[in-house]
């Protein structure tokens, strides 16, 4: 998953993970800070889930992962024209995740928990785009919404 590798590289650059970013993704260590999928279907409801509730929608032959983080994916379907999805990777600092003893034991050689604790109180960042799947180029429905730091600062100060 490309977005997980990008986030893992950020985590490595910030000193939050102490191993190779690809290894962190393979082991699931990145999910301590990215504990969800890239996005979900939208349509009739905000979170338009095929099977209702938080039961995931999977394509033929696909099953829920047992790995922390990826076990919470709500969508693993091939996208088809006419579908509308969110693209919303995020970075979160969640005290309950960072304080979880079993997760700390599992990832103690990959995560700098002392450094991670210095981020407590930060909360998180998620920038969402809504995208209509077409037969050719995806239609980014939220393309006009400010997302860069400079754009957001201009909106806030304006």
Span 75-130, pLDDT tens digits = 777 889 999 988 988 999 999 999 999 999 999 999 999 999 999 999 999 889 99
Domain co-membership, 113 together with 50: no
Beta bridge partners of 96: none
Domain co-membership, 45 together with 80: yes
Domain co-membership, 6 together with 80: no
Tally the domains of the chain: 2
Domain co-membership, 54 together with 77: yes
Whether this prediction's pTM lies above 0.85 is answered by no
In this model, does residue 27 exceed pLDDT 90? yes
Write out the residue range of the structural domain in which residue 152 sits.
41-87+130-158
């Amino acid at each position: 998953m490309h977005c997980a590798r990008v986030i893992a590289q950020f985590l490595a650059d910030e000193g939050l993970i102490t191993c190779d970013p690809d290894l962190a993704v393979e082991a699931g260590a990145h999910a301590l800070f990215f504990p969800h999928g890239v996005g979900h279907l939208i349509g009739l409801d905000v979170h338009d889930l095929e099977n209702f509730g938080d039961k995931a929608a999977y394509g033929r032959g696909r099953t829920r992962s047992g790995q922390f983080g990826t076990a919470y994916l709500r969508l693993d379907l091939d996208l088809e024209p006419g579908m509308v999805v969110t693209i919303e990777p995020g970075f979160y600092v969640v005290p309950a995740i960072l304080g979880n003893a079993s997760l700390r034991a599992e990832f103690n050689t990959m995560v700098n928990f002392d450094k991670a604790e210095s981020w407590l109180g930060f909360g998180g960042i998620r920038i969402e785009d809504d995208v209509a799947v077409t037969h050719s180029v995806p239609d980014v429905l939220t393309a006009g919404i400010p997302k860069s730091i400079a754009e957001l600062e201009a909106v806030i100060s304006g």
